Amino acid sequence: MADFFEVVHTQRAARSFLPDDVDDASISRILTAATHAPSAENSQPFVFIVVRDAAIRRAIGDLTARIWEGGAKALESDRLSPSFLRDVDRGAMGGIAGAPVLIVVCGDTRLTYPQSMDASVFPAVQNLLLAAHALGLGSTLTTMPVLGGDELSEPLGLPADVVPIAVIPLGHLAQPLGPPRRKPLSEKAHLNRYGTPYPPTPSGEVSVP
């Protein structure tokens, strides 16, 4: 079994994929892990659309590219480093839609309050990303296509009560991703009150591989 901390510390956003297929047994295993996430009142409002159909993947890819080129890229170009921007650009302009499987994660609005929806769906998304990585597959949490609203819902035949929340490509990595860039725990944690360092001594930090 893959070591949990190894999986968590090495999971990264993948934006370019080999065309090789992902089998249904792996997808089912990944989605079952997703369904084990916590949700408000155990409402389990998450809904997963497994998109294999090439025409639908292309439609989602075209939509993503239009949103990216129609303003999102300009917005991000001042915020992301050149290499990060290049990677997101590659993903938005076909890398993500090039994955053999897109999982569109939706929320069933009949099952929880609007205030709880995202908080009840994103834990499932995180389980999904980690499970995919544990099985050696690449994935990325993307929300850009969701900005397309009905243009995303329509090709998926979503009823009005089921809203898209994220699109996750799933596939075999085109190239290794390297280590993730993360700030040290001491920049993010505080003891008792904001501003008191945690861990108390830097040696208390766990090194991330």
Ligand X SMILES: Cc1cc2nc3c(=O)[nH]c(=O)nc-3n(C[C@H](O)[C@H](O)[C@H](O)COP(=O)(O)O)c2cc1C
Under the rule (CB under 6 A), what is the footprint of ligand X? 12-13, 15, 88, 91, 140-144, 180
Least spacing, CB of residue 195 vs ligand X, in Å: 26
Q: Which is nearer to ligand X, 39 or 142 (CB)?
A: 142
Residue 121 tokens read as: 């769906």
Q: Rounded to whole angstroms, how far apart are CA atoms 33 and 13?
A: 19
Cis bond before residue 199 (omega within 30° of 0):
yes
Q: Which is nearer to ligand X, 149 or 197 (CB)?
A: 149
Least spacing, CB of residue 184 vs ligand X, in Å: 15
What kind and span of H or E run contains 206?
none
Other Cβ atoms closer than 10 A to 61? 22
Closest CA relative to residue 131, chosen from 18, 36, 19: 36
Q: Which is nearer to ligand X, 50 or 80 (CB)?
A: 80
Q: How far is CA 200 from CA 39, 50, 79, 120, in A?
A: 33, 46, 33, 33
Question: DSSP of 110-133, one letter per residue?
Answer: TSS-HHHHHHHHHHHHHHHHHHHH
Least spacing, CB of residue 85 vs ligand X, in Å: 10
Q: Which is nearer to ligand X, 170 or 203 (CB)?
A: 170
Closest CA relative to residue 186, chosen from 158, 164, 207, 162: 207
Least spacing, CB of residue 21 vs ligand X, in Å: 22
Q: Which residue minimizes CB distance to ligand X?
A: 144
Least spacing, CB of residue 200 vs ligand X, in Å: 28
Q: Which is nearer to ligand X, 97 or 162 (CB)?
A: 97
